Chains A and B, each alone.
Chain A
Amino acid sequence: MRRAILIAGLCATAAVLVAGAMKADGISDRARKLHFSSIVVDTHDDTTQRFLDGNNFDLGPRDANGSIDIPRMKEGNLSAIFFSIWMPSKITGPDAVKRALDQIDAVREQIRKHPEALVLATTVGEVREIHREGKIAALMGVEGGHMIASDLGVLRTYAALGVRYMTLTHSGNSEWADSSTATAEHNGLSPFGKDVVREMNRLGMIVDISHVSDKTFYDVLETSKAPVFASHSSCRAICDAARNMTDQMIKDLAAKGGVIQINYHVGFLSQEFRDAEKANPQIEKDIQAEVHKRCGENEACQLIEGDNVVRDFVKAGKLPRVDYTKIIEHIDHAVKLVGADHVGLGSDFDGAMMPFGMEDASNLPKITEALLQKGYSESDVRKILGENTLRVMAEVERVSHDLSHASPR
């Protein structure tokens, strides 16, 4: 390992020395070649909210706002994107189901509108085929178990419509699982919650443990027959947020073949940022007031403008600046802890406050460049960019296949 890093380090130095190999944007030819020949997967993007906010947002043209559209995905070689189906935890029952179906339809409509660029993918095989065709694979994840209204038929319907993971809770507890950001009421997963996990295994949906309480996480790990992932969580060892994972959790997740997909949200990346927010509660209120002024109750707007407002506050010196290199620190921490097979990318684009230098999907090659600079092997970089996530998906598919054929009745 040490030798590999040394050699890679020498290579990186050599690359820097050869001026011609480095483009003006700071991405070396080697990194560019590696990045653009890899399948880059992002497991969490809140862009879906923009489809439904009444402004007819379309993925086709380049947008001045937000982080995701087809031109910028192509520029950053974001090859497979999980559009998040999300609404606040307080919406439950049939209303939640209806709203989730509307969002799923909105994603599918974007795919229908852009057949030249976007293709719905529900399997690893499809993701690879779509990538070969030079198109972007569109996938879906449901962010919060409250959206199934305690009904396995609804869960199965989401799967039938192409949803490939479900986060068991959002910020509030669901009827059957505790969240990391609410008072525990189920002691983790309820018996029905365990049935949900088993049905997800059977359906070939990845169980997503981002957002859930530590106890829920361990209950899931014990119940699930397939590896699970954290679609958008970072490391508590670097930034102590309940939404992030402890080193022990990351180790236990990895031991079962899972992946932690690093979230780029500054409040999950940087302890300094978190502390500054905590030290001055007025800042949070001011941010919210400004966002409300710009957006009213429009949730898509709130997500996008939240990012803009925080950026303004940082520029005004009210909050510490967080750079995209913090993402690399989290990736490197997880790699040092459990190796390069258990970490991936779960940006939270269009749903969180992005660090400087990672404003949108076009900046993704910087991650490849930074990891190569750190001496990561090309094979490890490919894994982090997407192959690890695809491996988990493939394993989930295999378990689903086995379960479906074992007990048809």
Chain B
Amino acid sequence: MRWTRPLLFACSLGLVCTAARVVTADDIAERARKLHFSSIVLDTHDDTTQRFFSKAGFDMAQRHTDGHIDIPRMREGGMNAIFFSIWIDGRIMGPPAVQKAIDQIDAVHQMVRKDPKDLAFCRTAAEVREAHKQGKIAVLMGVEGGHMIGNDIRVLRTFGDLGVRYMTLSHFYNDEWADSSTDKPAHNGLTDFGKDIVREMNRQGIMVDISHVSDKTFYDALEVSKAPLIASHSSCRAICNHARDMSDDMIKALAAKGGVIQINYEKSFIDQAYKDAYDKASGGVVEAMNKVTKECNGDEECVINKVQALQKQMEDSGQLPPVSWERIIEHIDHVVKLVGADHVGLGSDFDGATMPTGMEDCTKLPKITEALMRKGYSDSDLRNILGGNLLRVMEANEKVSKEMQASH
């Protein structure tokens, strides 16, 4: 540590630069490992919640051979903060949607209750940091789709009271007050009520998540929200032109307001060739979802499994090209080049999407840190990407919430 400065100084003079740069691969691997395992590694989107309702039972404490997330694998991958997604099919609305959502919220709470040694339920950035200090995994929740509030602002507040810390304004379908990116526009973005929802989310300190929403909804939300927004699980259209991803202009506008895009690892969101082939084979993600939803008759774990099985079958038959995990790095790097390292993070979509080769589950996460370090990213930038950026946005939302509640 002591000679970091002289070395850098020498480097800037162009004297011993070559010598300084010649570090062995093992050195970087070791440094990356150290940095990764001392950082808060936060993932904003995991569909593991659906497994809690599995008829076979699901125990987070056990290592599984299927899926992407459980405590042993999170420990192995250094993943220590997770947003469990509360999700139901976007066509279920009204009181049944509300009850299903609170059942899932309860399931997350029960999971934490069962493993108090490993898990800590967190509502604030400070609590996440405290959990990390204690060596526990911070558990948070996000509601993936505005249809779950039953068109009622009171239910939104109740979700907040139960610990939900972000809400995605829509899922694959439009809800009563926001247009989705994968449905025909019905509201020209956010309705007036949708804008009230965004304001109330600000007041409650629930982050506004613009993954899944239409471009117009995104811009409406950006204009209305007093706090920075997140895209909890979206990637870059410049690399893979999918409606679920964000254009460069959107990423710039998001960043200008302090927000963060959390890169989604889903193959059809990160790889153009894969997406093109998938669309050709299935008619697109919504059509594929429609088909399996019908087959599964409302069993959400079944839907996820079937979509994944369908994709695997198409990959095995060569209909779909292979995708490497390094695409994730490309997306992160694209955002960093566009808006700097303060506006990108990780939103895997583990247990809800098909993972690229090399990112089979959360044990592979240290590879991301190492790859970015090899690209020359600074330690501080790396920590921000791994989780610091998202915590900054959370803190900004907490501040806005406090101010709004005090001034009412």
Mark A residues whose CB is within 8 Å of B.
93-95, 97-98, 101-102, 104-106, 108-109, 112-113, 149, 151, 153-154, 156-157, 160-161, 404, 408-409
B110 interface hit (Cβ, 8 Å): yes
Contact A154 B158 (CB under 8 A): no
Chain B proximity of A51: nearest CB distance (Å): 11
- Which residues in window 87-112 of B have CB below 8 A to A? 94-96, 98-99, 102-103, 105-107, 109-110
Contacts of A98 in B (CB 8 A): 94-95, 98-99, 150, 152, 155
Contact B114 A97 (CB under 8 A): no
- What 0/1 readout, one digit per residue, does chain B (142-154) give for beta carbons within 8 Å of chain A? 0000000010101
B123 interface hit (Cβ, 8 Å): no
Q: Is the interface of B mostly helix, strand, loop or mixed?
A: helix
Contacts of A105 in B (CB 8 A): 154-155, 157-158, 161
Assembly CA distance A105 to B155 (angstroms): 8
Selected contact of A102 from candidates B96, B99, B113, B154, CB within 8 Å: B154
Known: A106-B154, A109-B157. A101 touches B114 (CB 8 A): no
Chain B proximity of A166: nearest CB distance (Å): 16
For the complex with contacts A108-B161, A109-B154, A404-B113, 12 further pairs of A-B residues with Cβ separation under 8 Å are A98-B155, A104-B158, A105-B155, A105-B157, A105-B161, A154-B103, A154-B106, A157-B102, A161-B158, A161-B162, A408-B116, A409-B114
Selected contact of B98 from candidates A97, A108, A113, A161, CB within 8 Å: A97
Contact A97 B158 (CB under 8 A): no
Contacts of B157 in A (CB 8 A): 105, 108-109
Contact A153 B107 (CB under 8 A): yes
Closest 6 CB pairs of A and B: A94-B95, A98-B95, A153-B106, A105-B154, A94-B99, A153-B103
A-B contact pairs, 8 of them (CB 8 A): A98-B94, A105-B158, A109-B154, A113-B408, A157-B102, A160-B106, A160-B109, A161-B162
Contact A153 B102 (CB under 8 A): yes
Assembly CA distance A109 to B102 (angstroms): 19
Chain A proximity of B152: nearest CB distance (Å): 7
Known: A105-B157, A408-B116, A409-B114. A157 touches B162 (CB 8 A): yes
B54 interface hit (Cβ, 8 Å): no
Contacts of B110 in A (CB 8 A): 156
Assembly CA distance A94 to B102 (angstroms): 11
Known: A98-B99, A101-B154. A161 touches B106 (CB 8 A): no
Chain B proximity of A175: nearest CB distance (Å): 15
Chain B proximity of A179: nearest CB distance (Å): 23
Contact A156 B106 (CB under 8 A): yes
Contact B102 A101 (CB under 8 A): yes
B134 interface hit (Cβ, 8 Å): no
Chain B proximity of A374: nearest CB distance (Å): 44
Contact A112 B102 (CB under 8 A): no
B380 interface hit (Cβ, 8 Å): no
Contacts of A104 in B (CB 8 A): 158
- What 0/1 readout, one digit per residue, does chain B (112-136) give for beta carbons within 8 Å of chain A? 0110100000000000000000000
Contact A112 B98 (CB under 8 A): no
Q: Which residue of B lies closest to A120 (CB)?
A: B161
Contact B109 A156 (CB under 8 A): yes
B313 interface hit (Cβ, 8 Å): no
B38 interface hit (Cβ, 8 Å): no
Selected contact of B161 from candidates A93, A154, A161, CB within 8 Å: A161
B357 interface hit (Cβ, 8 Å): no
Contacts of B102 in A (CB 8 A): 97, 101, 153-154, 157
- Which residues in window 150-172 of B have CB below 8 A to A? 150, 152, 154-155, 157-158, 161-162
Chain B proximity of A102: nearest CB distance (Å): 5
Chain A proximity of B60: nearest CB distance (Å): 12
B378 interface hit (Cβ, 8 Å): no
Known: A105-B157, A160-B109, A409-B114. A154 touches B162 (CB 8 A): no
B405 interface hit (Cβ, 8 Å): yes
Contact B106 A157 (CB under 8 A): yes
Q: Which residue of B lies closest to A101 (CB)?
A: B158
Contacts of B154 in A (CB 8 A): 101-102, 105-106, 109
Chain A proximity of B367: nearest CB distance (Å): 34
Contacts of A102 in B (CB 8 A): 152, 154-155
Contacts of A95 in B (CB 8 A): 95
